[in-house]
């Protein structure tokens, strides 16, 4: 079972910062996941929430601030004073961290709350510029965005993100069409996941920070997990004990 660092190595570094991504890049793990929003001046930035309130010393919606304005705040100090000075990275800056590694890159489009007009096209341009199309998977809770991205770039893997239990999840994913399902941990032991696996779905599960859960998922054939503690999880899975 493969391991993705969720929002970078976000259990030990401030999420979605270059510090968290440099740590993920250093680790011998399969991949990394992070979240993308669009600024007021149309720049792609990597941050989880629609606002900067929780993960910076500023306030406001990403969509209402320019990149220059967003860069006046600190995105590390909330996590620990030793991380002071971390800024909000652009998509291109994050991809650059992984340019010399083999990590699989999961870019989550956070367009489910605000539609972010033209985001898919911009993300595609950056991926192509960085030459990373063959090792990217685009995911979103916004399944319209997943469908549109697949239309734009059929050669790039896409995945639907789900929070709830679905009936016939595999068939729904094929209908979008999506190449993989990224599902919420509490739904991963339900019929939904087992049926999808039997039908041949690629199934990845978020967010798994507990080794007992990880081992149970490994047993049923889940392809990958997203975890905030990639190093710890890798060591525990290799040893194979709880």
Q: Point out the residues that are catalytic.
A: 6, 48
Q: Is 142 in the site for ligand G3P (CB under 6 A)?
A: no
Given 108, 142, 148, 157, the residue binding ligand G3P (CB under 6 A): 108
3-state secondary structure at position 97: helix
d(CA 186, CA 209): 13
Q: Classify residue 46 as left (phi > 0), alpha (psi -120 to 50) or beta.
A: beta
Query: Toward ligand G3P, which CB reaches closer, 18 or 137?
Result: 137
Q: What share of the chain is helix, strand, coil (3-state, %, to 5)?
A: 35, 20, 45
R_g over Cα of the chain: 17
Binding mask 159-198 for Mg ion (x = CB under 5 A): ----------------------------------------
Instruction: Show the binding pattern over residues 127-166: x = contacts Mg ion (CB under 5 A), - = does not.
Output: ----------------------------------------
Position among 43, 108, 157, 228 found at the interface with Mg ion (CB under 5 A): 108
Closest to Mg ion by CB, 135 or 194: 135
Is 206 among the residues that bind ligand G3P (CB under 6 A)? yes
Whole-number Å distance between alpha carbons of 13 and 8: 8
Report the alpha-carbon distance of residue 158 to residue 71 in Å, rounded: 30
Q: List the interface residues with ligand G3P, window 36-65 (CB under 6 A).
A: 48
H/E stretch holding 35 reads: strand 31-38
Residue 206 binds what, of Mg ion, ligand G3P, none (CB under 5 to 8 Å, by partner type)? ligand G3P
Per the structure block, which two tokens stand in for 112? 């489910």
Q: Of the listed pieces 17-25, 83-91, 106-114, 215-223, which binds Mg ion according to CB under 5 A?
A: 106-114
> In the bound complex, what is the minimum distance in angstroms from residue 37's beta carbon to Mg ion?
11
Measured between its terminal Cα atoms, the distance across the chain in Å is: 16
Judged by CB under 6 A, which of 226, 227, 228, 233 binds ligand G3P? 226
> Which position among 23, 35, 142, 179 is part of the footprint of ligand G3P (CB under 6 A)?
35
Whether a cis peptide bond, with omega within 30° of 0, leads into 177 is: yes
Q: Which residue has the tokens 């978020």?
A: 206
Q: Are 44 and 123 within 8 A, CB to CB?
A: yes
Residue 161 in contact with ligand G3P, rule: CB under 6 A = yes
Q: Residue holding tokens 């600190």?
A: 74
Q: Which residues bind ligand G3P (CB under 6 A)?
A: 6, 33, 35, 48, 108, 139, 161, 182, 206-207, 226
User: Which residues contribute to the site for Mg ion (CB under 5 A)?
Assistant: 35, 108
């Amino acid at each position: 079972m493969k391991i993705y660092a969720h929002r970078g190595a976000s259990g030990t570094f401030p999420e979605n910062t270059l510090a968290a991504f440099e740590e993920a890049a250093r680790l011998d793990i399969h991949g990394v996941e992070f979240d993308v929003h669009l600024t007021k001046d149309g720049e792609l930035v990597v941050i989880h929430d629609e606002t900067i309130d929780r993960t910076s010393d500023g306030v406001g919606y990403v969509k209402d601030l320019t990149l220059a304005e967003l860069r006046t705040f600190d995105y590390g100090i909330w996590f620990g004073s030793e991380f002071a000075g971390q800024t909000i990275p652009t998509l291109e800056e994050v991809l650059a961290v992984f340019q010399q590694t083999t990590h699989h890159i999961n870019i989550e489009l956070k367009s489910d709350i605000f539609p972010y007009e033209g985001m898919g096209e911009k993300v595609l341009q950056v991926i192509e510029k960085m030459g990373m199309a063959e090792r990217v998977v685009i995911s979103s809770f916004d399944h319209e965005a997943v469908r549109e991205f697949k239309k734009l770039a059929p050669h790039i893997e896409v995945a639907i993100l789900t929070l709830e239990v679905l009936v016939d999840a595999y068939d729904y994913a094929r209908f979008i069409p999506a190449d993989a399902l990224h599902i919420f941990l509490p739904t991963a032991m339900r019929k939904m996941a087992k049926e999808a696996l039997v039908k041949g779905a690629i199934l990845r599960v978020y967010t798994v920070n507990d080794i007992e859960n990880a081992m149970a998922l490994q047993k049923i054939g889940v392809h990958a997990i997203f975890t905030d503690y990639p190093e710890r999880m890798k060591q525990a899975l290799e040893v194979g004990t709880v």
